[in-house]
Amino acid sequence: MKSHLVRITVASVALVLASSARAQYDQYQRPNLDGFSLGQTLLIVNWEISKPVGGFHDYISDWSLRGFSTEARYKIRQNISVGASFSWNRFNQTFNNLTINIPGGVISGPVYRYFDMFAIRGIAHYYFMDGPIQPYAGFGIGGNWAYAFQQTADLINSQSGFFFIVDPEVGVLVQLMSGRTSLDLNIAFRYTYSTADAGKQPEIHVISPIVGLAWSF
Amino acid sequence: MHRGPFALIACALAVVGCGDYTAPSEVVNGTAVASLQATGANFSQYKTFTVTNTIQVTDNSGTTSEQYTMDVPQIVDQVKSNMTNLGYTYVPFSSGVQADLVIGLYAYKGSQSYGGYYCGYWYWGYYPYNCAWSYYGTYTFGTLVLRMADFKNAPMPASPSDKLTLVWGSAIYGVLAQPYTLQRVLAGIDTAFAQSPYLKKQ
C-alpha cells in the first residue's frame, strides 16, 4: 500500500512537471497561428505594378513597374482594421510618332509622357476569416498630388495639382512567420480612381496587382 | 525594434525612385509638326499661290531682322512642290505679285529658359492654344513656320506691321536647330501638307 502511494505521488509530480514544461513550451515555442489580430498593428510595404485603364490608357498604355506603398493598419475589431497609407506610382511612355488633334488642326511627332502620383489616404479593411490566411476587402480615400508631363521635340506641356483619390481593393494576408512580431505576405488587387488630369484626360483610372510584406505586432 | 519595414522602404525607394525624368534623345531631337487652318476657311475658292523667296528670322528677343540663308531655295521649292501637287497654280514671287494665296516663311531661332512661355509669338497670337506650350530648359530652338495668307479676298497690307488674313499655318519644330539636316527640314514640310488634307483641290 505504501509502495502504491509512493508510485501515485511520483506519477502526479511527474504529470505536474510535464504540464508545466508543456505550458512553457507552448508559451515560447508553439507558433501563433492567429494571424493579424484584434489590438495589433500591421505595417506593410508593397510593390505596386500598375496598368492605366479607361481614358488614362489613351495617355499612357504601358504597364508601370515603378510603384510602392506603405500602410499602417490597426485592428479595432477582430474583422475590421483602420489606418493610413502612402503610395507613389510613376508611368512613362515614349511614342515614336503621335498625331494629336488640337483646336484648328493637328500636331504630330515623337512624344514622351510621364505621370507621377503621390497619394495619401485613410484606409479601412474587412477581414473575412481569422487565422494565418486572412482574405480581405477594403478601400482608401484621400488626396494625391499628381504631375503630368508631355514633350515633343523642344515643346513641353505639363499639368499638376492636388486631387481626390479613392481606391477599393481586395487581397489576402498569408502568415509566413510568427512570434512577438509576425511576418505576413500581402497580395492585393487595387482599382484607383483620381480626379487628376493628364494631358487631355480629365481623370485617372488604374488597376494595380500588389505584393508586399507585412509585420504585425 | 521594428526596423524591418523601414529598411525595406528605404531599399524600395532606392530601387524604384531613379531615372527617366527627361525625354529620350529621339524625342528631344525629333521633329514635331503642327498644322492649323483658320475657322471657316474655304480652300476651294483659291487657284493660284506664290511663296516668298526669303525666310525672315525672328528670335525670342524680337530684335533680329536678319534673313535665314541656309538651303533657302530647296525649302522654297519643297513648299512650291507640295502646293502644286495639291492642285494649285504657282505664280513666281515678286513685289506686288497677284496670287490668291501667299505663303510666307519664317525662322524662329534663339534660346529660351525653362518655363518661358511662347504664347502669342507665332501666328501673331492667332492660335491661343499655343499658350499652353513652353520651351524646355535653356534651349536653342529652331522652328520653321509657314503662314498662308488670303490675298484673294483681303487687301494687300499697307505696311509690314499690318495683320494678314491667315487661312493656314504650320510650325515645324526643331528642324532649324542642331542636329540640322536639309532632309529633316524637307520631310517636315511634307508632313505639314500631308496632315492638312483639306488643302487639296477637288
Residue found under cell 502511494? A5
Query: Using the beta-carbon criterion (under 8 Å), do B195 and A109 form an inter-chain contact?
Result: no
How far is it, in rounded angstroms, from Cα A64 to Cα A163?
21
* CATH architecture observed for domain A31-216: Beta Barrel (2.40)
- Bigger pLDDT: B117 vs B180: B180
Report if residue B191 sits inside a domain. yes
Q: Are the CB atoms for A192 and A209 separated by under 8 Å?
A: no
Q: How confident is the model at residue B5 (pLDDT cuts 50, 70, 90)?
A: low
Is pLDDT above 70 for B12? no
In a domain, B13, yes or no: no
Q: What is the DSSP letter of B88?
A: P
Residue range A61-76: mean pLDDT, rounded: 94
Contact list in A for residue B5 (CB cut-off 8 A) is 43-45, 70, 213, 215
On whether residue B118 sits in a domain, the answer given is: yes
Beta carbons of A129 and A136 less than 8 angstroms apart: no
Which of A70-74, B82-86, B105-109, B136-140 shows the lowest mean pLDDT across its residues? B136-140
Cell 493598419 found at: A73
Domain that holds residue B149: 29-199
Alpha-carbon gap: A171 to the closest alpha carbon of chain B (Å) = 19
Are A171 and A135 spatial neighbours (Cβ–Cβ below 8 Å)?
yes
- Cross-chain residue pair B8–A213, CB shorter than 8 Å: yes
Asked if A111's CB is within 8 angstroms of B27's CB, the reply is yes
State whether residue A211 sits within 8 Å of chain B by CB: no
Nearest CB neighbour to B136, from listed A109, A154, A215: A154
Question: Considering only residues 139 to 168 of chain A, which have any Cβ-Cβ distance to chain B shorter than 8 Å?
Answer: 151-157
Instruction: Kindly state whether residue B116 falls inside one of the protein's structural domains.
Output: yes
**What's phi and psi for A178, nearest 5 deg?**
-135, 160
- Average pLDDT of chain B to the nearest whole number: 76
Residue A152, Cβ density class (10 Å: 0-12 exposed, 13-18 middle, ≥19 buried): buried
Domain positions in chain A are: 31-216
Task: Specify if B52 maps to a domain.
Answer: yes
**How close A146 gets to chain B, by Cα (Å)?**
14
Angstrom distance (rounded) from CA A35 to CA A133: 7
- Whole-number mean pLDDT of chain A? 85
pLDDT at B137: 46
In this complex, do B133 and A109 lie within 8 Å of one another by their Cβ atoms?
Answer: no
Residue A24 has pLDDT above 90, yes or no: no
pTM: 0.75
A·B CB contacts under 8 A: 121
Are the CB atoms for B58 and B64 separated by under 8 Å?
yes
Least confident segment among A110-114, B113-117, B123-127: B123-127
Q: Which residues of A87-101 are buried (b: 16+ CB within 10 A; e: fewer)?
A: bbbbbbbbbeeeebe
Instruction: Flag if A104 and B129 touch (Cβ within 8 Å).
Output: yes
Q: How far apart are CA A168 and CA B18, in angstroms?
A: 28
Contact B9 A68 (CB under 8 A): yes
pLDDT at A7 over 70: no
Structure confidence at residue A124 (pLDDT)? 96
Alpha helices in chain B (DSSP H): 4-16, 25-28, 72-85, 182-194
> What percentage of residues in chain B have a pLDDT greater than 70?
67
* Type of residue at B138: T
Is A110 within 8 Å of B36 when comparing Cβ atoms?
no
Contact (CB<8Å) B135/A154: yes
Q: How far apart are CA A2 and CA A200, in angstroms?
A: 97
Number of domains in chain B: 1
* Interatomic CA distance for residues B201 and B191, integer angstroms: 18
- B33 φ, ψ to 5°? -125, 120
CA torsion angle B193 B194 B200 B202 (round to 10): 170
Give yes or no for residue B111 having a pLDDT over 80: no
* A213 Cβ contact list (under 8 Å, min separation 6): A44, A45, A183, A184, A185, A186, B4, B5, B8
pLDDT top residue among A200 and B190: B190
Least confident of A23-32, A53-62, B23-32, B77-86: A23-32
CA distances from A195 to A49, A91, A175, A202 (A): 20, 16, 36, 7
Q: List the single residue in A92, A102, A213 with the smallest CB-CB distance to B129.
A: A102
Q: Return the CATH number at B148.
A: 3.30.160.670
Shortest Cα–Cα distance, A23 to chain B (Å): 27
* Average pLDDT, integer, range B67-79: 89
